[in-house]
Amino acid sequence: MLFQVQMTVKLPPDMPPERAAEIKSTEKAYAQELQRTGKWRHLWRVAGSYANVSIFDVKDNAELQEIVSNLPLFPYMAIHVTPLCRHPSSVRDDDS
């Protein structure tokens, strides 16, 4: 199942910079590992904001929930999930 997920990051202003750097580094490793497995298909920065738009390819809602809730930045993000399905006019073979 494909999902578009928009994540908007809002770190507390009083978070020590070293702690913020540590969380971001752990987040990066986790996100890159999931991209290598193919579960996190796309990761795009939303220009002009501390937010991303991502495409996940997972088994079901429960798997998406597990992945997203384990993101190190999860406590500091507003997350919006949109379920996707194949468009009948798409010419791509990998849109299912």
Ligand X SMILES: O=C(O)CC1=CCC(=O)O1
Strand partners, 43: 54
From the list 10, 19, 28, 86, which residue makes contact with ligand X (rule: CB under 6 A)?
A: 28
Q: For residue 43, what are its two tokens?
A: 């990761």
By CB under 6 A, residue 27 contacts ligand X: yes
Q: For residue 41, what are its two tokens?
A: 């298909």
Q: Which stretch binds ligand X (CB under 6 A): 15-23, 27-35, 57-65, 84-92?
A: 27-35
CB of residue 91 to ligand X, shortest distance in Å: 29
By CB under 6 A, residue 58 contacts ligand X: no
The DSSP output letter for 48 is T
